[in-house]
C-alpha cells in the first residue's frame, strides 16, 4: 500500500473550521430542541413523524423560526462530524511515515486522561448546580458514577432520563472509539487489512445491528446501540479512509457546492426512511466538507477560531443552558444569541482555568 497522502483532502485549518461547524450545531441543537412547539430530531431513535412534521412545516410556508427548527432537527449531526474529524486526525498524527509506534496501553490511557481532565470540572459543576437549582440528585447515583468515569454508554437504559449531563455521553463514545482504533484499526505499516479492510468491517459491524436488531419498532435496542459506537462507526471509518487515501481534490467551487446541495437533500429525505437514515450522517459530512470548500475567507477565519474552542464549548454549554430559560420579554432568536455568546465566553474562561490543571501522561514500558 502507498504511504499516507501528503496532499490531503482537508488542511489543518479546514479541519478546525469543520470543528467550528460541528460544535455550533451541537450547542445550538441542545438549546433549540428544548423549546416548545419545535420539531424534534431523529438521533438515538427513529420516528418518521418527525420527518413528516418537518415536511409539513415547509409545505405551509417558512416563518421566522426556520433556523430554530433546522437546528433542532439536524444540529445533532455535529456529533458524527466530530467523530469523522477525530479519525482523520488520528491517522495524520499516528500513521505518518515519521510517526513512532505507539504503545496500546499508553495510547488508550493518555487519551482517556485527556478527556477526563477536560470533563471533570464541568461535570462537578453540573452536578452542583443541578442540586442547587432543583434540590435533588439529577439521576440515579449509578449513572452519576458512570458519567464520572465516562462509561455511561454501556450501562442499562442509556436514555436522556438517566444520562446526565446529557451531551457528556459523547466522551464515553470517544473512549470506545480510541480503544477500537488502537486495538483493531491502527495501521503502523503498510497493511492492506488495517488500511482498508478494518474500516470497511467497522462500517458493516456498525450498520448491520441497526438494520436487524434496532428496527424502528424496537426502540429500546436502537437506543442502546446508538449511545455506543454503532451510531458513528461509519463516520469514524470514513475519516480513516479519507485521511489514508483521499488526496486533495482540485474541484471548482461550483462542484463542491453541488456536493453540498445533493448531500443536504439526501439528509432531508432520510428523515422519512429508516434505512436511508442510518447512512444520513455520512452525507452530513460530505455536505460540511463541500461547504468548507466554498466558504469565504472571513467566515473561514471565524469558524477556525470557534473550532479551536470547540472542546471547551462542548463542556460549558450544558452549564450555560441551565440558566437560559427564555421568556416572552425578548424573542427566541435573541435568547439563542445570548446563550451562544455566553457559551463561547464560558469556554474561553474554562480554557483558562484548565491551563492550571496539570496534564498526566502514561509513559509506555520499555
> pLDDT (tens digit, 9 = 90+) per residue, 191-214?
555 688 899 999 999 999 999 876
Q: What would the grid cell of residue 172 be?
A: 464515553
**Of residues 209, 262, 257, the one with CA closest to residue 233:** 209
Residue 282, Cα to own-chain centre: how many angstroms?
Answer: 12
Note the pLDDT of residue 163.
82
Burial 245-281 (b: 16+ CB within 10 A, else e): eeeeeeeeeeebeebbeebbebbbebbeebeebbebb
Instruction: State which residues of the chain have pLDDT below 50.
Output: 1-4
**Of residues 58, 82, 60, the one with CA closest to residue 69:** 58
Q: What would the grid cell of residue 5 be?
A: 497522502
SS3 content of the chain, % helix, strand, coil (to 5): 70, 0, 30
Residue 61, Cα to own-chain centre: how many angstroms?
Answer: 31
Note the pLDDT of residue 326.
62
Q: For the residues of 307-330, what is the DSSP string, one character each?
A: HHTHHHHHHHHHHHHTT----SSS
> pTM of this prediction?
0.94
- For residue 247, give the 3-state DSSP assignment: strand
Give the 3-state DSSP-derived string for 332-353, with helices as H, strands as E and coil as C: HHHHHHHHHHHHHHHHHHHHHH
Across-strand partners of 247? 8
Note the pLDDT of residue 296.
96
Note the pLDDT of residue 3.
46
CA distance 253 to 330: 39
Which residue in the block uniquely carries the three cell numbers 454501556?
A: 154
Note the pLDDT of residue 93.
93
Amino acid at each position: 500500500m502507498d504511504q499516507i497522502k501528503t496532499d490531503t483532502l482537508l488542511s489543518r485549518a479546514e479541519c478546525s473550521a469543520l470543528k467550528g461547524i460541528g460544535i455550533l450545531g451541537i450547542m445550538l441543537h441542545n438549546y433549540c430542541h428544548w423549546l416548545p412547539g419545535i420539531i424534534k430530531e431523529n438521533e438515538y431513535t427513529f420516528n418518521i413523524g418527525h420527518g413528516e412534521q418537518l415536511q409539513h412545516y415547509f409545505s405551509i410556508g417558512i416563518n421566522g423560526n426556520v433556523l430554530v427548527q433546522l437546528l433542532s432537527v439536524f444540529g445533532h449531526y455535529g456529533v458524527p462530524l466530530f467523530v469523522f474529524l477525530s479519525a482523520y486526525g488520528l491517522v495524520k498524527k499516528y500513521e505518518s511515515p515519521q510517526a513512532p509506534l505507539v504503545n496500546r496501553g499508553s495510547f488508550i490511557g493518555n487519551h482517556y486522561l485527556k478527556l477526563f481532565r477536560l470533563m471533570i470540572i464541568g461535570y462537578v459543576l453540573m452536578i452542583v448546580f443541578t442540586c442547587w437549582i432543583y434540590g435533588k440528585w439529577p439521576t440515579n447515583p449509578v449513572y452519576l458514577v458512570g458519567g464520572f468515569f465516562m462509561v455511561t454508554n454501556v450501562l442499562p437504559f442509556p436514555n436522556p432520563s438517566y444520562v446526565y449531563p446529557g451531551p457528556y455521553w459523547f466522551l464515553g463514545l470517544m473512549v470506545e472509539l480510541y480503544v477500537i482504533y488502537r486495538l483493531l484499526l491502527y495501521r503502523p505499516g503498510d497493511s492492506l487489512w488495517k488500511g482498508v479492510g478494518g474500516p470497511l468491517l467497522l462500517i458493516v459491524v456498525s450498520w448491520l445491528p441497526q438494520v436487524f436488531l434496532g428496527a424502528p419498532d424496537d426502540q429500546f435496542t436502537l437506543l442502546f446501540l446508538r449511545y455506543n459506537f454503532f451510531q458513528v462507526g461509519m463516520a469514524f471509518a470514513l475519516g480513516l479512509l479519507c485521511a489514508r487515501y483521499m488526496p486533495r481534490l482540485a474541484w471548482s467551487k461550483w462542484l463542491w457546492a453541488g456536493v453540498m446541495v445533493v448531500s443536504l437533500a439526501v439528509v432531508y429525505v432520510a428523515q422519512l426512511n429508516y434505512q436511508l437514515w442510518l447512512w444520513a450522517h455520512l452525507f452530513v459530512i460530505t455536505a460540511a466538507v463541500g461547504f468548507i470548500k466554498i466558504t469565504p475567507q472571513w467566515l473561514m477565519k471565524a469558524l477556525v477560531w470557534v473550532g479551536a474552542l470547540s472542546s471547551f464549548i462542548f463542556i460549558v454549554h450544558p452549564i450555560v443552558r441551565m440558566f437560559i430559560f427564555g421568556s416572552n420579554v425578548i424573542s427566541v432568536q435573541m435568547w439563542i444569541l445570548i446563550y451562544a455568546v455566553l457559551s463561547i465566553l464560558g469556554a474561553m474562561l474554562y480554557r483558562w482555568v484548565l491551563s492550571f490543571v496539570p496534564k498526566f501522561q502514561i509513559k509506555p514500558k520499555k
